[in-house]
Amino acid sequence: MAKSSTTFTCSACASSYTKWSGRCDGCGEWNTIVEDKGLSKSGPSGKSLGARRGSTVQLTDLATKEAPPPRTRSGIDELDRVLGGGLVPASAILVGGDPGIGKSTLLLQGAAQFARSGLKTIYVSGEEASAQVRMRAQRLGLTDAPVQLASETNLRDILTTLENEKPQLVIIDSIQTMWSDTVDSAPGSVSQVRSAAHELTTFAKRNGMSVILVGHVTKEGQIAGPRVVEHMVDTVLYFEGERGHQFRILRAVKNRFGPADEIGVFEMTGSGLAEVTNPSALFLSERGTPSAGSVVFAGVEGTRPVLVELQALVAPSPHSQPRRSVVGWDGSRLAMILAVLESRCGIPFAGLDVYLNVAGGMKISEPAADLAVAAALLSAREDAPLPEGAVVFGEISLSGALRPGPQTENRLKEAQKLGFTAAIAPSGGKPIEVTGMSLRQMGDLTQFVGDIFGAG
């Protein structure tokens, strides 16, 4: 008896199995393993793939002289920065974000600007009627933009329209509402999202068309659907922000045509999203007189230095298990900083509630924020503010040693531009001098605690 060629594949991480299982061992997801017919059998005849030869594929080498495709700039500098300098022809972009954060507003503004730049643009909405999109465009003052609108969810009809119209840019809002009649499942399911994303991406690459897909996110903050969709596209962008703040951050987490981790900062206004050319000044605009627990961190997001305020509060805990609450930073990294302070510097936080917040709704992920977090915690615990006009940055190791972060000179120049006169940073690296800035360098955390707070 011939062995069956049926295999089972995880729709989240593409791991293959010989039999079905409820949980994928590769990514740990449940109910993502589906039956997948292998390529060893190509049809009812049972002939192997090798017996049914196809056409040859044209090969080229690295020495082939081809001019790189020109990028198209939208005129929205923050959007162009995150894209790596503009829109690359035949590229696929995935944009995710929380509901109501402003994804559709951002992309409608971007579509209008790209259309004004000369790109034939089609905006396909699966969530709104064309009249509703026009109402939003009227509120944003974009009614004069030559953008073609469509309201449809059938993928076959959308691809037929795109093949006839031959646009240079198409925006799909959103990929979770698209459905393919070749897949027997409901719209928004894993198989439908994967099939629709694959068809649209393949169509865009084959026809030299750029496609922007809007993706919903789960409650964990990840784009809903299989992770394989993020592998299909060229660029993955996340639109972030707190509902209580007017700031919105467009962050690149994957970009084949530019730097990853680049950010663009916008401000939500009554007439849409406005660019923020100097985010450091905006994030520090509401900062008053320096107080205990308040520290300015000189960070770097992508290629841009950004100054943000870190706020800490340390208070006696009425509970047997003290609280550790973090907004805008990694909670596990806070636990590590507290452990290093207690083990290496002899400063305990047992019996104390610790609260840490990144002002302005910003989210920080770089390790260079360690020293600023430690300074904010110590300042709040000792009720002693840091020297006025000082910024702090540096990474803390488990041994208590301080490590310098990248782009130290750019951090100092950004701080000096905003009126800061002093910086506290780890020692090491090449000597750096910035006019108007005094730099205090520390070798380890114990020296930092002793010099700044007189203890340790």
- Count Cβ atoms below 10 Å from residue 382 Cβ, excluding itself: 17
How many Cα neighbours within 13 Å face the side chain of 214? 25
Copy the structure tokens of residue 157.
């009809």
Asked if the 77-277 domain carries CATH number 3.40.50.300, the reply is: yes
What tens digit of pLDDT does each residue of 89-134 get? 999 999 998 888 899 999 999 999 999 999 999 999 999 999 999 9
Of residues 12 and 33, more confidence is placed in 33
Q: How far is CA 126 from the centre of its chain?
A: 24
Sequence-separated contacts (24+) of 333-337 with Cβ below 8 Å: 333/367, 333/370, 333/373, 334/373, 336/398, 337/370, 337/373, 337/374, 337/377, 337/396
Strand partners, 274: 267
- Give the orientation angle of helix 331-345 with respect to helix 370-382, to 10 degrees: 70
DSSP type of residue 285: T
Backbone angles phi, psi at 366, to 5 degrees: -75, 145
Q: How far is CA 413 from the centre of its chain?
A: 26
Annotated binding residue at 97?
Answer: yes
Annotated binding residue at 103?
Answer: yes
Copy the structure tokens of residue 148.
């073609």
Of residues 58 and 333, more confidence is placed in 333
Annotated binding residue at 99?
Answer: yes
pLDDT band at 359; cut points 50, 70, 90 = confident
Q: Which residue has the tokens 């579509």?
A: 111
Of residues 349 and 243, more confidence is placed in 349
What tens digit of pLDDT does each residue of 255-282 get? 999 888 899 999 988 889 999 888 888 7
Q: How far is CA 30 from CA 17, 21, 186, 232, in A?
A: 14, 9, 18, 22
Q: Check residue 183 and give its pLDDT.
A: 85
Provide, for the chain, the percentages of residues in helix, strand and coil under a 3-state DSSP scheme, each rounded to the nearest 5.
Answer: 30, 25, 45
Annotated binding residue at 454?
Answer: no
Give the domain 282-453 fold: Ribosomal Protein S5; domain 2 (3.30.230)
Copy the structure tokens of residue 138.
């009227």
Copy the structure tokens of residue 456.
């340790």
pLDDT band at 2; cut points 50, 70, 90 = very low
Average pLDDT over all residues of the chain: 87
| Pair 227, 13: CB distance under 8 Å | yes
Q: Check residue 52 and give its pLDDT.
A: 62
Lowest mean pLDDT among 278-282, 334-338, 407-411: 278-282
Annotated binding residue at 100?
Answer: yes
Annotated binding residue at 104?
Answer: yes
CA pair distance 311, 361, nearest whole angstrom: 12
